[in-house]
Amino acid sequence: MKKYLILVVLSLFLLSGCGKKTAPAPSPTPAPKLVEMEVQFRPEITLSPRADGHELYLKINKISDTISKIEYEITYLATDDNLEIEKGASGIIEAEELSTGKSERKILLGTESCTNGCKYKYDTGVRGGKLSLVFSLKNGQMSMFESPFILQSTADLKKAGGSLVWTEENYTYTPKNKPSGTHFYIAHKNYLDGGYLVTSSGAL
């Protein structure tokens, strides 16, 4: 009887060892390495305003063939019933478009409804925000560009004595010609040299 019990236990042990083994969990895919893009490969990036200040134009020129994809995001604060609300827009520029060496996106500062003719509700109180771009590189690495930006009108410049004054960045820009008419101005950092870039809906 004892020999019979020993054989049964031994058989169960051997059978359990021959059962289906659990496959090891797959190794997580390592995240792309974040690197600083060399100056000679950096594209020209400009953010400019429409004449009424309700839409922004993101333009990316001289895109090198080292870039396979660009993700962009623009965030800003708007005022609604005296409350500040963060809003924004984002998107992806794929390789097919990048092959042309340039790209442009229109960013509406508000909402659009085109079910029965297009109607727009523009955001109010927009004074600036942040521009962010992520570049996916063909070597598997990634690079980023981030910059705050400010949005000012001709009236704002006149109040400041004819200059665009960016207090947070300790930066002042004075146009060669005295601001006139109704225009808007944007200032943001320059990706090419680390300085500042000013654009306008009118002639600078």
Domains of the chain with CATH codes: 39-153+186-200 (2.60.40.2150)
What does the DSSP assignment read for 104-123?
A: EEEEESEEEE-BTB-EEEE-
Count CB atoms within 10 A of the CB of residue 164: 21
Which of 70, 80, 22, 26 lies closest to 44, judged by CA?
70
CB atoms within 10 A of CB 94: 11
For residue 27, pLDDT over 90 is answered with no
Per-residue pLDDT tens over the stretch 123-163: 999 999 999 999 999 999 999 999 999 999 999 999 999 99
pLDDT band, very low/low/confident/very high, at 12 (cuts 50, 70, 90)? very low
Do the bridges between strand 184-189 and strand 142-153 make them parallel or antiparallel, or are there none, so unpaired? Answer: antiparallel
How far apart are the C-alpha atoms of 172 and 156, rounded to whole Å?
Answer: 13
User: Tens digits of per-residue pLDDT, 94-134?
Assistant: 999 999 999 999 999 999 888 888 889 999 999 999 999 99
The one-letter amino acid code at 35 reads: V
What the block records as the tokens of 33 is 């390495």
pLDDT at 10 over 80: no
Element containing residue 188 per DSSP (H, E): strand 184-189
